[in-house]
Chain A
Amino acid sequence: MIRAVEPSAGPNSSAASASAQPVAQRLIRVRVLRQDAPGQESYWERHAVPYELNMNVISILQRIAANAKSQDGRPVAPVAWDCNCLEEVCGSCTMLVNGRTRMACTALVDKLMEDNPEEIELRPMSKFPVVRDLVVDRRRLFRSLERVEAWMPIDGSYDQGAGPRISPESQEDAYPLSTCISCGCCLEACPQFTKIELVRHEDETVADFEKRRRSAFDRGFIGAHAISQAMLFNSHPTGQLIADQRLQAITAQGGIQMCGNAQNCVAVCPKSIPLTRSIARAGRAATVWAIKKLFDR
């Protein structure tokens, strides 16, 4: 609920508000699901932030960081969150805003208020281990890119002339897939992608723990983002050279066969990447490849 109070009476008034208009100031109510560290209990905390024009969720978190007090004026540790570019192109600031997985930078306060004027609710992604508050560990997402060998198998970085000629149609087909920002929204929304959170044993070395975690990642669902990247590289004349390896990867344990076709991924993708089209293509390519493999034996 947006409540009008005198700026000086608000718990969040700061030295900066000295220049603010004397008119009553609206407050935005924010409820944050916090967690101090991995393995600890989570808890809700309420904040109230003075309304400003053109605010997004990032600016709310910035105001909370600058004035770390809960709604009742109690000093608290500032809420931790991930962000970088604030232009929805770096993929850092994914969180659940009013229950929906999205980038915090493009979550505009005015729009959120239209949907729910009572308050804004912020939670960390649920499919990745919480590091602290809204910060989660998304290393698994990058591991999936290794699994599908999402790169061009070039000889090296020395000059070898231009790349292959590409039709504008192929470019226009590939380009959207190449705008994937590795935010993880598609994974958060996917019923087949479940959280993997391991705890290091007391007698386990860091290297052993990393190995165990990696093998757990490799058994889990690879995710729509990685399947789409595999299709991106398999559609390129050079990328195609290791197409079979990628098809092998997406049909191995945790591969495309786990996809339940819920189509949530494509619905939440902030970049509108045609993920289900990539999955359909991958399914067809995998079938053809499996049959071919059968006959090649």
Chain B
Amino acid sequence: MSEPRVLVIGGGLAGLAATMRLAELGIGVDLVSLVPVKRSHSVCAQGGINSVNAMTRQQGDSEWKHFDDTVYGGDFLQHQPPVKEMTEWAPKIVDLLDRLGVPFNRTPEGHRDQRRFGGTLYKRTAFAGATTGQQLLYALDEQVRRWEVEGKVKKWEFWDFLEPVLDSSGRCRGAVCQDMVTMAFRTFAADATIIATGGCGLVYGRSTMSMVCTGSAASRAYQAGARYGNGEFIQVHPTAIPGADKLRLMSESARGEGGRVWVPRTPHDARDPRDIAEVDRYYFLEDRYPKYGNLVPRDIATREIFDICTTDGLSVEKDRLCVYLDLTHIPRETLDRKLGGILEIYEKFQGVDPRAVPMKIFPAVHYSMGGLWVDYQKNAAGGLEEGSPRNQQTNIPALYAIGECDYQYHGANRLGANSLLSCIFSGLFCASGVVASAHGSRKLAAEESTNLFAAAMRRQESRHESLLARRVGTENPYQLHLELGNLMTRVATVVRRNEQLTAAYAEVCTLEDRWKRCALSDSGNWTNQNVVFTKALGDMFPIAKLILKGALEREECRGAHYKPALAMPGIAATDLAGQYHEAQEWCDRFEQNTKRWLKSTIASHGADGDPQIVFEDVDTSLLPPRPRLYGLIGGELIEEVWKERQKKAALNGSGSAAGTAQTAAVAGPSA
């Protein structure tokens, strides 16, 4: 045993991309997953993957614009160097996927076809029908299978990651995992460990996420000392199909291909939607956002749909909140060719043909922008230094996080078709640094004292046994999960209010306490899904707490995080001078807010179990923050004023816009 090994937890796009690249770099990989990796949640991604391409380039697009759109869409909350690097890699990544045989849709001439997604004006998104995530995952799964046959990769499917093993210096030396079939424990000695376990949708009960997306792996790393960033930023997807067991995604591509969102102007109009005349329909997104129309960024679409139902009372149904997403004006053949997969989902689960009848949809929890804090090393060009062991490393040395479970790429809001990109990019890109780290320790993990691993294993065994012994508890873990999900969905999704967040935090503490009195209905030691679920549930509470506390402490609106009391409305004045004055005030407030709140929320697990939160500066060295004005009333004037101030700031040589508010205000309107 003289070769380092790497342990990868999670076999979705990020985990498989990392595994493939590591194997190619000659490193042996143990790949641990709750499900056969081909069944990972990445299969659910529908829409596509973004990159600049030959066509958009000729329309004025560039990597820089993709970078700008991503940062602007994310409300500037991301550190910019990793995003820059990602968008520069994007064309290469899509080319690689093309070579891997992903059946991307084609133009008549045989090039990859592209569609437009939210938050951009270019057709940047390559897609394979409406099952792009599935196709991408399969392409990587196939390559990893090839490496498995070569003997470079060993898969451990139906295994649960329980805790990272840290040595006395705090360096990660592997992990304790459990076989979910035999319930046997095993320690994995690893010179680097990568967590690639996706999002935490199950903290919200029902979401668009798969049943494995409990967030438990990230939570276990967090409880072992890893920091967690921007937890309160949870993307609620504007369009999902409400269901009893889960909420099923209706891809943004439905709008990308021309789908129109509307409600009847008469509340709960009982007519068949097809019989409702155009004049009786309210296309509220097109009306309120003429530039982007139905393709406004997700947080805005979500809030508008939520609002039209709650505030305006225009929900299609009386007892259930929903709006119409209408594709019926598009020819059937086009729909089948471009959206076949997602339309089948609707038809299969609702029993209604969306080609003939408008779909009923409502927002649902969809993506965790936040996740484990990870480091990076910046290069001279403002991107990342390839091969640095710091890239994607958590604050625990030799413990890495990639994909949805890191916090790094999407800031306060993720743009559609950027997630597949960030997963594959972080997986591929981190590999060389991980190899450097694995080679960098003085002693191989496999040669570490067996006491280190044995102690961690004993800890997990005793946790397991004490759970199994609980035959006579008073609480039902599934009931607690239902309560947690309802609570989190109510207070920590589209609209956040401090009094609710405070109360919810106390309730989560109570739920966590009740969890300790859970009774297990299965005390066996063979394929015991009951105990696996109960453990995962127990690990949801620390995540729920850091989401709530982060949301509570962040006193502003940014991207997916929206507090009505702190919203900055558009311009109300009707006269020019008044409007100008308001625009100036708006910019002043924006600057103050940026200064105070353009910070990453960083949570550490406190000794008492409560998250300790600090706010850290964001690297905005490449793009100075500017107001995110999609559709704001008076947005154009604010933008104009903002640019004017920036110009003056540059002339005054202050270098930053922050100090110039007064100068600009004094200068006044030239009109």
Contact = CB atoms under 8 A, between A and B. Distances in A.
B114 interface: no
A238 interface: yes
Interface string A120-155: 000000000001110100100010011001111010
B101 A163 contact: yes
B210 to A, nearest CB: 5
B351 A108 contact: yes
Contacts of A159: 92, 95-96
A53 interface: yes
Contacts of A16: 479, 482
Contacts of A132: 526-527
B244 interface: yes
B360 to A, nearest CB: 12
A178 interface: yes
Contact of A175 (B103, B139, B244): B103
A180 B398 CA distance: 37
A123 B202 CA distance: 28
A183 B662 CA distance: 65
A106 B349 contact: yes
B521 interface: yes
Interface in B196-255: 210-212, 243-246, 248-249
Nearest to A60: B245
A118 B122 CA distance: 55
Nearest to B104: A171
B60 interface: no
Contact of A161 (B41, B95, B111, B351): B95
B337 to A, nearest CB: 8
B38 A85 contact: no
A167 B41 contact: no
B521 A78 contact: yes
A167 B24 contact: no
A9 interface: no
A162 B41 contact: no
B428 interface: yes
A224 B526 CA distance: 32
Interface string B72-110: 000000000000000000001001101111011111111
Contact of B99 (A59, A80, A160): A160
Contacts of A260: none
A130 to B, nearest CB: 10
Interface string B511-542: 00000000001101011011001000000000
A19 B613 CA distance: 37
A176 B131 CA distance: 11
Contacts of A165: 109-111
Interface string B24-67: 10000000000110111101100000000000000000000000
A14 B483 CA distance: 13
Interface stretch (B143-151, B283-291, B562-570, B583-591): B143-151
Contacts of B210: 84-86, 90
B103 A174 contact: yes
Contact of A157 (B21, B105, B248, B521): B21
Nearest to B35: A84
Given A62-B245, A162-B95, A171-B106, A90 B39 contact: yes
A53 B350 CA distance: 11
Given A16-B482, A151-B145, A171-B103, 8 more contacts: A36-B526, A56-B244, A65-B533, A132-B526, A152-B99, A159-B96, A165-B111, A174-B103
A208 B238 CA distance: 52
B35 A152 contact: no
B341 interface: yes
> Which range holds the interface residue count of chain B?
35 or more
Interface string A54-98: 111011001001111000000111101001111111111000000
Interface string B143-174: 10110110000000000000000000000000
A113 interface: no
Contacts of A67: 476, 478
Contacts of A151: 142-143, 145-146
15 contacts: A37-B527, A52-B244, A54-B243, A67-B476, A84-B212, A85-B43, A90-B210, A111-B351, A132-B526, A152-B100, A154-B143, A175-B129, A179-B134, A182-B38, A239-B101
A236 interface: yes
A92 B37 CA distance: 11
A88 B345 contact: yes
A156 interface: yes
A97 B338 CA distance: 32
A174 to B, nearest CB: 5
A150 to B, nearest CB: 6
A207 to B, nearest CB: 12
Contacts of B92: 159
A157 B211 contact: no
Contacts of A76: 521
Interface of B: 20-21, 24, 35-36, 38-41, 43-44, 92, 95-96, 98-101, 103-112, 128-129, 131, 134-135, 138-139, 142-143, 145-146, 148-149, 181, 210-212, 243-246, 248-249, 337, 341, 345, 348-349, 351, 428, 476, 478-479, 482, 521-522, 524, 526-527, 529-530, 533
Interface in A178-194: 178-179, 181-182
A37 B243 CA distance: 33
Given A86-B248, A106-B349, A80 B107 contact: no
Contact of B479 (A14, A53, A86, A135): A14
Contact of B522 (A15, A78, A150): A78
A36 B523 CA distance: 13
Nearest to B209: A85
Chain A: interface secondary structure? loop
Contact of B20 (A54, A65, A150, A157): A157
B208 to A, nearest CB: 9
Interface of A: 14-16, 36-37, 52-56, 58-59, 62, 65-68, 75-78, 80, 83-92, 105-106, 108, 111, 131-133, 135, 138, 142, 145-146, 149-152, 154, 156-157, 159-163, 165-168, 170-172, 174-175, 178-179, 181-182, 233, 236, 238-239
A179 B135 CA distance: 7
Contacts of A152: 99-101, 139, 142-143
A77 B522 contact: yes
A94 to B, nearest CB: 11
A154 B529 contact: no
B534 to A, nearest CB: 11
B35 A92 contact: yes
Contact of A146 (B145, B482, B529): B145
A131 B235 CA distance: 37
Contacts of A238: 99, 101
B476 A150 contact: no
Contacts of A56: 244-245, 349
A58 B245 CA distance: 7
Given A142-B36, A150-B142, A238-B99, A84 B20 contact: no
A135 B642 CA distance: 61
Contacts of A85: 39, 41, 43-44, 210-211
B39 to A, nearest CB: 4
A149 B99 CA distance: 16
A84 B21 contact: no
A133 to B, nearest CB: 8
Contact of A80 (B146, B249, B527): B527
A286 to B, nearest CB: 22
A65 B529 contact: yes
A142 B38 contact: yes
A179 B341 contact: yes
Nearest to A179: B131
B478 A66 contact: yes
A88 B98 contact: no
